[in-house]
A = this chain, B = another copy of it.
Amino acid sequence: MNTSSKFVVAVHILTLLSSQKILLGEKSLMKSDFIARGLNTNPVVIRRLLSLLKAKKLVDSKAGPSGGFYFKYDPSTVTLAMIHDIVEPGNLYHMYYSSPNKECPFGSHIHGYLKTLLCSAEASFKNVLAEKSLLDLVNDVLNKVEHKENLTKEEFASELKKNMKAISSKCSQK
C-alpha cells in the first residue's frame, strides 16, 4: 500500500477551500492553522502541501494578519484526477524492478506486457477520479448537512464562519 496521505489530504484541503469560496464568498481566506486543526496535524504540513498547489496555480495566498489561502478556480472545473496528478505524479507502481536480465529467453519479454497492463489499470483508476469534481464533493457534503441536520445553506454558512473564528482564537491563545 502507498503510505502517503498527500492525495487525500490535498483533496480535503481543496474541498474545504472550495466550500469556503461557495459559502463565504470569493474574498474569504482560510488559515493553515484552521485546516491543520480539522486534520489533527501540523500547520507546516498543510502549508507545505499548499505551497505545491500554489506552484501549480490552483490556490493563492496572502501573508499577514487575516491572511490565508483561497482557491483560484471554479470548483466544478477541477477534478480529483487533476489533484492526483499534481500531488502523486508518476505511476501507482514503478516498473523498475531490477531491469530484467536479457539472458533469460522467456523472462526478458514479460516486462513490456506487464507494463502495458499496469498503465491501462492505472488509467482506469484515474478515469474514476476524473469523474468527480471538487464541486461534486462540496455538494455531497452540503446535501448531507441539509438533510440530516435540517440546516439551510445560509444557516450552515454562518455556522462554518463562527467555527472558523472560534478555532482561530483558540490557535492564537497558545
The residues of A with any CB-CB pair to B shorter than 8 Å are 1-5, 7-9, 11-12, 15-16, 19, 35, 37-41, 80, 88-101, 103-111, 113-114, 117-118, 120-122, 124-129, 132, 137, 140-141, 144-145, 156, 159-160, 163, 167
Q: How far is the CB of A82 from chain B (nearest CB, A)?
A: 14
Q: Which residues of B contact A117 (CB under 8 A)?
A: 80, 128-129, 132
Residue contact A163 to B105, C-beta cutoff 8 Å: yes
Residue contact B7 to A93, C-beta cutoff 8 Å: yes
Residue contact A4 to B93, C-beta cutoff 8 Å: yes
Pairs across A and B, CB under 8 Å, 16 listed: A5-B94, A8-B93, A11-B114, A37-B101, A38-B100, A39-B107, A41-B98, A80-B117, A92-B125, A104-B167, A105-B160, A105-B163, A106-B145, A109-B140, A109-B145, A121-B128
Residue contact A103 to B5, C-beta cutoff 8 Å: no
Q: Check A92/B2 contact, CB under 8 A, given A12-B114, A113-B137.
A: yes
Choose from B80, B97, B128 the contact partner of A8 (Cβ within 8 Å). B97
Find the B residue at minimum CB distance from A137: B113
Alpha-carbon distance between A35 and B111 when the two chains are bound, in angstroms? 14
Q: How far is the CB of A155 from chain B (nearest CB, A)?
A: 11
Alpha-carbon distance between A4 and B97 when the two chains are bound, in angstroms? 9
Residue contact B144 to A109, C-beta cutoff 8 Å: yes
Q: Check A94/B1 contact, CB under 8 A, given A19-B106, A106-B19, A124-B128.
A: yes
Choose from B92, B94, B113 the contact partner of A140 (Cβ within 8 Å). B113
